[in-house]
Structure 1
Amino acid sequence: MNTRTESNFTPIDPALYAKAFQLLDPAPEPNTPAAPAAAAPTFILPAPPARQTGPVEKTLADALAFLDTHGWVKGKLISAEGARCSIGALRAAAGARNGAYCDAGNLLLDEARQQHGKQWESIPSWNDSHTGVQVRSVWEAAIRRAHHMNI
């Protein structure tokens, strides 16, 4: 194998190359302000969608707010002063005996049974057998359950 080691290159002038590169990429003039650096792109992430209150949770929360505003009573649906029992507040909050009303009532009664025993067959019988503090505890727990169930 014969490998030639001699080159027939023409010698270069380093000053000539420096001048050529300067012409291709000139330095900014001393009195010319430098261009402002481009700002880094800003990414704005969209906010997560707001959680909507489900119809059962809303019905329960509105009914408890009704009890807080107008008062709670046992032994009757509505007192002369406008206070209501649990089923009366539920009816006032729902506005009609719709799906949210039925589901809220079932959830409230289920929570009452969990806290006070399985013997309760209806909201009025449970309501009339407990104190206001006990009744409120059941309402609050039912609202939390509806929230966690997203209903």
Structure 2
Amino acid sequence: MEGSMNTRTDTDFTPVDQELYEKAFQLLDPTTEPAAPAASAAPAAPVNRPAAAPVRPTGPVEKTLTDALAFLDTYGWTKYTLIHPAGARCSIGALRAAAGARNAAYCDAGNLLLDEARRQHGTQWKSVPSWNDSHTGAQVRSVWEAAIQRAHHMNI
């Protein structure tokens, strides 16, 4: 369904029997002390709470980029080789480790990373490895962080 989302803010809830409600929770969690019964039998005034913002799941591209950057943070970043003998990886090596396979998320994450590298460092870069090998760790990290933010904002 395209267009606007219709969200109801009014409810047609039946008033809750407070004692029954408390008993149900006590049965679910017997370590909880039973609450004292309410002094009056009058129903409590309804509480209007703002609806919580829905939690958006992380998209596969954002997850791949985030996991790859975490990999670089854990094992180290390197130039001129996919995997350094000590475990550090270049940007492509980290993407491969995070994605687990050359799947769609891997390809899209690599394309987004290269696009961000071109935004920050010029359009002459033809590949992630050539860009990775020509920059400092701080410059590479800046591109990774910006690519993650873009993936997040694009919801991919």
TM-score range, shorter chain: 0.7 to 0.9
2:122 partner amino acid: G
State the match for 1:77 in structure 2. 82
Once residues 50 and 142 of structure 2 are traced to their aligned partners in structure 1, the CA distance between those partners, rounded to angstroms, is 40
Work out which of the residue numbers 135, 139, 145 in structure 2 matches 1:134: 139
Sequence identity of aligned pairs in percent?
78
1:103 partner amino acid: D
Once residues 128 and 41 of structure 1 are traced to their aligned partners in structure 2, the CA distance between those partners, rounded to angstroms, is 62
Work out which of the residue numbers 86, 94, 103 in structure 2 matches 1:98: 103
Offset, 1:87: 0.2
Matches within 5 A, 1:61-72: 61-72=66-77
> For the aligned residues, what is the CA RMSD?
1.5
TM-score, normalising length from structure 2? 0.71
Q: Secondary structure at the match of 2:46?
A: coil
TM-score, normalising length from structure 1? 0.73
1:111 partner amino acid: E
> Could you report, residue by residue, the CA deviation over 1:1-23 in whole angstroms, capped at 9, with x for unpaired residues?
xxxxxxxxxxxxxxxxxxxxxxx
Offset, 1:40: 1.8
Matched, 1:124 2:112: no
> Could you report, residue by residue, the CA deviation over 1:49-106 in whole angstroms, capped at 9, with x for unpaired residues?
2111110000000000000000000010000100000000000000011110000000
Matched, 1:51 2:44: no
Offset, 1:47: 2.9
> Could you report, residue by residue, the CA deviation over 1:99-139 in whole angstroms, capped at 9, with x for unpaired residues?
10000000000000010010100000000000000000000
